[in-house]
Amino acid sequence: MKNKLRILVTGANGQLGNCIRNAAAGSDDEYIFTDVDDIDITDPEAVDLGVSCNNIDVIVNCAAYTNVDKAEEQPEFAELLNAAAVRNLAEAARKNDATLIHISTDYVFGGNAGNTPHSEEEAVNPTGVYGVTKLHGEQAALESGANVLIFRTAWLYSEYGKNFVKTMLNLTATKPSLNVVFDQIGSPTYAQDLADMIVGIISRRAYADNPGIYHYSNEGVCSWYDFTKHIAEMAGNDSCDIQPCHSDEFPSPVVRPPFSVLDKTKVKETFGVAVPYWVDSLRKCIRNLMTS
């Protein structure tokens, strides 16, 4: 294995992409950050050239069609970006002897009822166009024959882009009252924690012998209501009356996963990573947002 790896990050201007930039800042490896204007991952030739001409060893794909509701109106575009483009990346990885690290979602289990954390072996049952197209992306990557690692995550937030934490910081500061669903349960994930883990795995070259699917979220469990209560409390937004409500109060074109908790045993055992508790990570993110 080379002393210094060359790593291509796609979708680098999104939440996770920005966090990979932070995580890689002190790395001895060489990271190349691209977004749609540099390498449009739906273009197979652009992907192949980007990988071969840059002598890429590892691709980290942070690009995706992530708007769950809008995906229902644009199923073909969602399939192009979440599945066909992943096939392009995996194919380029295989041809160039590189590894693809790809990100997927709890929505592949969206239709599964119950209250047992989802393991990697559990049968998938995706909800909505987003869930189905992300599953197709996983399948395309795994079928390619490349060395592929897929990290399924959930409830991603960060200092970057649009996300639940930033929305709720704003709403709890400006609204006198707010109803938030308490009947969808999951584990929030600070994108910086996921990025730190991915960059750590690359630094230790631990990706080479460990292909497959892994689950990663922060530790602990909550509802969107609990999540909002913590956000408001940490920000000192105490004048907003936050009440729990049922999901049917917010009609949506997509059935949201009622139980999104991911079992992280495999990722912890394989890579020896410590996973931060969601409340501790949320505190860090809110501190950063409030001091920036």
By CB under 6 A, name the binding residues for ligand NAP: 10-11, 13-17, 35-36, 40-42, 62-64, 66, 81, 103, 105, 134, 153-156, 161
Decide whether 16 or 124 has the Cβ nearer to ligand NAP.
16
Which residue in the block uniquely carries the two structure tokens 């644009």?
Answer: 74
Residue 201 C-beta: closest distance to ligand NAP, Å: 16
Q: For residues 80 and 285, what is the distance between their CA atoms, to the nearest angstrom?
A: 32
> Residue 234: CA atoms inside 13 Å, Cβ hemisphere, count?
23
Which residue number is nearest to ligand NAP in terms of Cβ?
Answer: 14
Q: For residues 44 and 153, what is the distance between their CA atoms, to the nearest angstrom?
A: 26
In this structure, are residues 155 and 188 in contact, taking their beta carbons and an 8 Å threshold? yes
Q: Which of 130, 207, 216, 225 is catalytic?
A: 130
Residue 62 C-beta: closest distance to ligand NAP, Å: 5
Decide whether 205 or 221 has the Cβ nearer to ligand NAP.
221
Please give the structure tokens belonging to residue 259: 């139980």
In this structure, are residues 207 and 256 in contact, taking their beta carbons and an 8 Å threshold? no
Residue 81 C-beta: closest distance to ligand NAP, Å: 5
The DSSP 8-state label assigned to residue 263 in this structure reads P
Decide whether 205 or 263 has the Cβ nearer to ligand NAP.
263
Decide whether 188 or 235 has the Cβ nearer to ligand NAP.
188
Residue 74 C-beta: closest distance to ligand NAP, Å: 12
Q: For residues 290 and 159, what is the distance between their CA atoms, to the nearest angstrom?
A: 10
CA triplet 11, 288, 37: central angle to 5 degrees? 20
Residue 183 C-beta: closest distance to ligand NAP, Å: 18
Decide whether 36 or 205 has the Cβ nearer to ligand NAP.
36
* N-to-C CA span, the chain: 40
- Asked if 160 is an active-site residue, the reply is no
Decide whether 147 or 260 has the Cβ nearer to ligand NAP.
260
Q: For residues 90 and 100, what is the distance between their CA atoms, to the nearest angstrom?
A: 6
Residues in CB range of 126: below 8 A, 6 or more apart:
107, 108, 109, 110, 111, 132, 134, 135
For 245, phi then psi, to 5°, come to -145, 170
For 93, phi then psi, to 5°, come to -65, -45
Residue 210 C-beta: closest distance to ligand NAP, Å: 20
CB count within 10 Å of CB 265 equals 13
Known catalytic residues are 130
